[in-house]
Amino acid sequence: MKEILFLSGKGGTGKTTICAALASLWEKPKVIADVDVDASNLPLLLSPRLLSQSPFQAGWEPVRDEGKCTGCGTCREKCRFGAIGEDLTIDPFDCEGCGVCAWFCPEEAIVMKEKEVGKIFLSETPYGPLVHAELYPGEENSGKLVVEVKRRARLLAEEQGLDFILIDGSPGIGCPVIASLSGVSVCILVAEPTLSGLHDLKRLAALLRHFKIPGYLIINKADLAPEMSSELLNSAEREGLSFLGSIPYDPEVFECLRLGQPLPLVSKGPASKALLEINGHVYKNIVGGGEQ
């Protein structure tokens, strides 16, 4: 099974638009996963039909039994995070789930329960089954949720006998990105021709080198800054990344976002043509089935 992960140094580089476009162009059956659990946007472009959803639990939260509580205030005194108010209510945003309040409560009135921090969704799309997730606002454990989304995508691929998983990753190089790299066969980096794009590319390339994952580069909006695009290309060569192609700036991309459809389905413009070409290179170099 081959896992192909799309990453970018920051949000707004066009990674998800490119991932959705390639998902629509690939004829090979595959599972699609969106592991950007803080802002899952891939479903917006793939017309998903929800099949099921399940809660995702991680960490612990204290639950106070008012029937047993005598109001002694020990829990409030012991809480180092100031999460328990004078009226003994527990503020879920301040609570760190340490369990000290439950440990010291003389009446055993507080029990620690597993906490629901998000949801995982399974949908069908015209391009293959889709697994994605949502982490509730303010919750941590995004790395754990990424791992769970990937686990479910792998299970689905095994059950349905599919050889490929196409994954839209999180932006940046933080915990969710590192969690998403485990087991990945190939990573496609999407960069824009800016100074920060160049800086981000080097950081991502170093990360891929560390995990020994082969990396590829797509330059988006390449024509907006041709000199910087050349610098990205030179840097990619130095960093050991293979080049898949450039996409020019094309206002029709906004139309695809407005319509909620993959770009090749709604446009025959320059960006769409570039994506067709890139898809051929992806097939030849990554999927291993020759040019599509």
In this chain, which stretch among 25-33, 99-107, 210-218, 277-285 interacts with ligand SF4, using CB under 6 A?
Answer: 99-107
Contacts with 130 (C-beta within 8 Å, 6 or more apart), sequence order: 31, 32, 33, 34, 42, 43, 46, 48, 121, 122, 123, 124
Among 31, 46, 79, 244, binds ligand SF4 (CB under 6 A): 79
> x/- binding map, residues 181-220, to ligand SF4, per CB under 6 A?
----------------------------------------
Residue 84 or 145: which CB sits closer to ligand SF4? 84
Among 41, 96, 231, 284, binds ligand SF4 (CB under 6 A): 96
Residue 89 or 234: which CB sits closer to ligand SF4? 89
Q: Is 107 in the site for ligand SF4 (CB under 6 A)?
A: yes
Residue 73 or 289: which CB sits closer to ligand SF4? 73
Binding to ligand SF4, residues 225-264 (CB under 6 A) = none
Q: Is 111 in the site for ligand SF4 (CB under 6 A)?
A: no
In this chain, which stretch among 44-52, 107-115, 178-186, 269-277 interacts with ligand SF4, using CB under 6 A?
Answer: 107-115
Sheet holding 215-220, edge to edge: 49-64, 110-125, 128-135, 30-34, 164-171, 2-8, 186-191, 215-220, 242-247
Query: Which tokens hold the place of 52?
Result: 């099921």
Q: Is 117 in the site for ligand SF4 (CB under 6 A)?
A: no
> What are phi and psi for residue 3, nearest 5 degrees?
-110, 125
Q: Is 59 in the site for ligand SF4 (CB under 6 A)?
A: no
Residues 167 and 5: beta-carbon distance below 8 Å: yes
Name the minimum Å distance from CB 176 to ligand SF4: 24
Cα(226)–Cα(37) distance, integer angstroms:
33
Q: Name which of 177, 217, 260 is nearest 10 in CA terms.
A: 177
Q: What is the DSSP string of 73-120?
A: -HHHHH-TT--B-TT--B-TTT-----HHHHH-TT--EEEEEEEEEEE
Binding site for ligand SF4 (CB under 6 A): 62, 64, 69-75, 79, 81, 83-84, 88, 90, 95-101, 105, 107, 109-110
